[in-house]
Chains A and B, each alone.
Chain A
Amino acid sequence: MPEERSDKLIREKIEGLDTLPAGFRLQSNEDWLAIEQKLRPASRKGFGWWYAAAAVLLIVASTFLWNNTTLQPPVLQRVTVKQSKVPAKQVVPATNSEKTAAGGTSLKIVLKNTGGPAATNELPVIDTPSHNMAAIEESVTTAPALNNTPSIITVTSQAPIKKRLKIIHVNELGNEPEIIYTRGPLKKNQLAEDNNDDLQPLQGPRSWWQTKPKTVTTVTLSDNN
């Protein structure tokens, strides 16, 4: 049949067409990118490993930060007080304290006997933290008095080393110092509120606690009312 021959001819020509005819447009690269994006979730393997690695990293970082930020408790020193002579039974709070060269305080504890005259005895000093003074007093043990003479226990405490922060003047911060205006000397028969015209800048910067002087506006009433 003629139709079959013409159909065959058309089919052969159409199937043999490999190039894009004129007037037709194909954005091959863009289309491939769109296909690749849709294929990526299916083709990606081991995607969960990224999440596991990120979680491990987060845990390690948080542990490291936590260790650096926790404060270490102060080291307490155990205090033992030794005395060469037998002190009295009663412990009297120190009336005077001396500051040591290291910045601590030297506390003199006078032990008085109930009946006898007081006497001082120098005892070897043992360093203790200042907050443990109450424990020191409690731990002082007294032996029976031999000659009823009180003894002085000198306890030196070593205060914690204080860090002195560097005092920085506001001018050192780098900002331009503000000019502070002040009033000039008052003229005769002039109220302080009227003296707004003689504002003069201060010589030098203004500190942070100094506020700007307030300008006062005055209303003068005439005598003709």
Chain B
Amino acid sequence: MELSQLLKECRKHSVTAQKYLYDRYAVPFFLVCRRYMRTDEQAEEMMMNGFLKIFNGLLQFEYKNEAAATGWMKKIMVNECLQELRKKNSFLTIAEEEAKEIPVEEEIISSLTAEEIFCVITRLPVGYRTVFNLYVIEGMNHREIAEAMGITEGTSKSQLSKARTLLQQLLIQTNENYAGRKIR
């Protein structure tokens, strides 16, 4: 079933269509939330809240194409996570310090699987993780990130630099483990 038809049925409060939409996007949206939240339970809760907002907001949503609809739903999930993190005051303790940025090597990234990179990202501290996700994965600039997180642009840039440095170390460590398993 096409996404346009599916969303049309969901707009009519069809339980079958809503269930179908949920089954189709539950895992991808859970992974989106899990990149921001600390535990699986928190990510599930954010995912459920996001789906409720999607079902309730379909009346105001105007379908253009599948990519735009998917992006709209994904943005709802991200905003839900950011609201929760701001509610818990997770970004207040972020210090604005300049760090030497170490770029992540492409060879290491290429040698690792998507699951391994995902696991490494979830291991980052909440501030690094959020800025990295918003800048690298969501494609937001530092001004937008600062507005969404309630921090300054300078803090956003420093957090991103630290995130890259730590990510590099973790990827190398993961790659060594991966390389070690491959040699054996």
Contact = CB atoms under 8 A, between A and B. Distances in A.
Interface of A: 2-3, 5-7, 9-11, 13-28, 31-32, 34-36, 38-39, 42-43, 45
B1 interface: no
Contact of A36 (B15, B103, B136): B15
Interface in B110-127: 110, 113-115, 117-119, 121
A47 to B, nearest CB: 13
A22 B115 CA distance: 8
A19 B35 CA distance: 14
A7 B118 contact: no
- The A interface, classified by DSSP as helix, strand, loop or mixed, is helix
B27 A15 contact: no
Interface stretch (B45-53, B84-92, B151-159): B45-53
Given A35-B48, A35-B52, A39-B52, A10 B117 contact: yes
Contacts, number: 94
A28 B30 CA distance: 10
Nearest to A19: B27
Given A26-B26, A35-B48, A17 B56 contact: no
B146 interface: no
Contacts of A6: 103-106, 109
A5 B106 CA distance: 7
- The B interface, classified by DSSP as helix, strand, loop or mixed, is helix
A20 B30 contact: yes
Among A10, A20, A45, chain B packs the most CB atoms within 10 A around the CB of A10
Given A32-B19, A42-B13, A10 B109 contact: yes
27 contacts: A2-B103, A3-B101, A3-B103, A6-B104, A6-B105, A7-B135, A10-B104, A10-B117, A13-B113, A13-B114, A14-B35, A14-B137, A17-B118, A18-B27, A20-B27, A20-B30, A20-B31, A26-B27, A26-B30, A28-B23, A31-B26, A34-B48, A36-B18, A36-B19, A39-B15, A42-B13, A45-B13
Contacts of A31: 26, 44, 47-48
Nearest to A28: B26
B150 interface: no
Contacts of B52: 35, 38-39
B7 to A, nearest CB: 15
Interface residues of B, number: 40
B28 interface: yes
A32 B47 CA distance: 10
Interface in B16-46: 18-19, 22-23, 26-28, 30-31, 34-35, 40, 44
A19 B31 CA distance: 9
B40 A3 contact: no
A141 B26 CA distance: 101
B164 interface: yes
A21 B115 contact: yes
A9 B109 contact: yes
Contacts of B48: 31, 34-35
A18 B30 CA distance: 10
Contacts of A23: 119
A14 B116 CA distance: 10
Contacts of A18: 27-28
A15 B137 CA distance: 8
B40 A14 contact: no
B106 A9 contact: yes
B53 to A, nearest CB: 11
Contacts of B19: 32, 36
Interface pairs A-B: 8 shortest CB-CB: A21-B115, A43-B13, A13-B114, A17-B114, A6-B104, A7-B136, A9-B109, A25-B40
Nearest to A44: B13
B55 A39 contact: yes
Given A6-B106, A17-B114, A35-B51, A26 B40 contact: yes
